[in-house]
Amino acid sequence: MVASVVKRNDGTYRVDEVWVVLDAGTIINHDRVVAQMEGSFMKGMHLALYGCVSHKNGRVEQNNFHGVKLVRMVQEPRKMNVETLNSDLAPGGVGELGVPPIAPAVAHALFALTGKRVRSFPLLSGLV
């Protein structure tokens, strides 16, 4: 997985484009695999950019979705490129395959853009 991040005129950052290549064995439904990877990217982007839990006086501050900043569809990358490798292996599934590599891909893209290594979550807080 590789991501491209751009800095907007207002000083905010946006994941602009992403490239995903995967080998999941024999692909039964290619469109479903692409949709799963796109959804996984959005989930992983949320975790990488905003996914943190804060505590105050020994209690978690976010007790439901209204207390959590979520990635919105308008923040979806301009383009998501998903390629599958041809394989004769048994189908392997793609359930959570797309989530783990997103944070490193976005962190590296932020480094390429800003020259600053961000090593803690949420990633954007390290650039402020």
Q: Where are the domains of the chain?
A: 2-127
Of 3.30.365.10, 1.20.120.1200, 3.40.50.720, 3.40.190.170, the CATH number of 2-127 is 3.30.365.10
Q: How far apart are CA 125 and CA 128, in angstroms?
A: 6
Q: How far apart are CA 106 and CA 44, in angstroms?
A: 10
pTM for the model stands at 0.85
- Burial (CB < 10 A; 0-12, 13-18, 19+), residue 5, is buried
Q: How far apart are CA 80 and CA 4, in angstroms?
A: 10
Q: What pLDDT does 120 receive?
A: 87
pLDDT means per 10 residues, the chain with 128 residues, are 94 93 91 92 89 86 82 88 92 84 94 92 78
